[in-house]
Amino acid sequence: MTQYAKVIGTGGYLPEEIRTNEHISEKVDTSDTWIFERTGIKSRRIAAKHETTSSMAEVAARQAIEMAGIAADDIDLIIVATGTPENVYPGTGCVLQHRLGIKKGVAFDIQAACSGSIFGLDIANNYIKSGAAKTVLVVGTEINSRITDWTDRGTCILFGDGAGAVLLQASDEQGILSTHIHSDGQYEDLLNCPNPQAMGDADGVGYISMKGNEVFKVAVNTLGRIVDETLAANNMQKSDIDWLVPHQANIRIIAATAKKLKMSMDHVVVTVEEQGNTSSASVLLAFNEAVRDGRIQRGQTVLLEAFGAGFTWGSALIRY
């Protein structure tokens, strides 16, 4: 009997501190109007000093567990997507496993930048379909503020912190219909964050660097192709999609993808205005918000997509 990966719970966490465009304009030559017109961002959340990627992941995970009505110990696989782990090792997944009091199963991290949660959903889907796992927790969690150069106008306006989670369980009912992931390393110089210590520079500091215009062009074209690929794989028309939940990088990229789907922005989940780009957390944060406020209803078809450094990109089509 075919097993599907069914969404049974979602969760999210945003730190308390809100850093507005006005706050940023006090430090660099920019303004609220300039930032908002180019990105759609008004503010972003900033993690407190005591917070870590695993502590934020725990809050989001516990919300998902509570919604699902299961015990944490029912989870047999944890996948954490993050580019900002508190340790090189052990992995954030293992730290989260301990925080949740789980002593069985498997936990590991993946790094696919802003596409991390989509890559996590792909892995989870295949584990469940193969019978290798029954209940899988996927978390995207990031503290981008600590790898952001707050004097660089091109990047400091974009990024924020947060964590999103989704719980998947094996089911006879359709859940994840398909996942599609890709990467192309030739663009590594357009968006990256170095690790100076690993390169022998013990005193170095690694910050995000980005060539924004070039990234924008590749992202729009790539996400257009992933929409076509996803629809073709499921023999669907654009009108069959009820909701688009995109990576929250830039409102112009989001709008371009919606236009590709011929979809009204009323059916696009947008959180970028108040959250900025939370990298691997953004898609799951947006999905959680729309599930919890009732926009996304059971039985609806939802397209999740993302694009990130690497470059990496992907989609997940879900019958919620």
CB 175 within 8 A of CB 5: yes
**Bridge partners for 191 per DSSP:** 210
Q: Do 184 and 131 share a structural domain? A: no
Which residues are marked as active site?
Answer: 114, 247, 277
Check pLDDT > 90 for residue 2.
no
pTM of the model: 0.97
* Residue 61 tokens, joined: 């995970």
**239 φ, ψ (degrees, to nearest 5):** -70, -10
Q: Give the tens place of pLDDT for each residue, 124-176.
A: 999 999 999 999 999 999 999 999 999 999 999 999 999 999 999 999 999 99
Q: How confident is the model at residue 203 (pLDDT cuts 50, 70, 90)?
A: confident
Q: What number is the average pLDDT over the span 300-309? A: 98
Q: Is 120 left (phi over 0), alpha (psi -120 to 50) or beta?
A: alpha
Q: Do 40 and 93 share a structural domain? A: yes
Q: How confident is the model at residue 24 (pLDDT cuts 50, 70, 90)?
A: very high
Q: How far is CA 168 from CA 66, 213, 251, in A?
A: 13, 36, 29
Q: Do 155 and 198 share a structural domain? A: no
pLDDT of residue 318: 98
The CATH number assigned to the domain holding 151 equals 3.40.47.10
Name the domain boundary from 133, 149, 173: 173
Taking Cα atoms as reference points, which of 277, 156, 160, 251 lies closest to residue 209?
156
Q: Do 315 and 198 share a structural domain? A: yes
Domain containing 156 equals: 4-173
Check pLDDT > 90 for residue 198.
no
Measured from the Cβ of residue 247, the count of other Cβ atoms closer than 10 Å reads 31
Mean pLDDT score of the chain: 96
* Residue 241 tokens, joined: 């999609």
Pairing of strands 135-143, 161-171: antiparallel
Taking Cα atoms as reference points, which of 85, 119, 163, 42 lies closest to residue 307?
119
Name the domain boundary from 153, 173, 193: 173
pLDDT of residue 199: 87
Q: Do 253 and 223 share a structural domain? A: yes
Q: Do 146 and 197 share a structural domain? A: no
Q: Do 110 and 188 share a structural domain? A: no
Q: Do 186 and 168 share a structural domain? A: no
Q: Do 54 and 122 share a structural domain? A: yes
- Structural domains in the chain (count): 2
Q: Do 8 and 84 share a structural domain? A: yes
Q: Do 89 and 191 share a structural domain? A: no
Angle at Cα 126 formed by Cα 122 and Cα 128, nearest 5°?
Answer: 120
Q: Do 219 and 131 share a structural domain? A: no
Name the domain boundary from 173, 199, 227: 173
pLDDT of residue 89: 95
Q: Name the one residue in this structure whose structure tokens are 């953004």.
A: 282
Check pLDDT > 80 for residue 1.
no
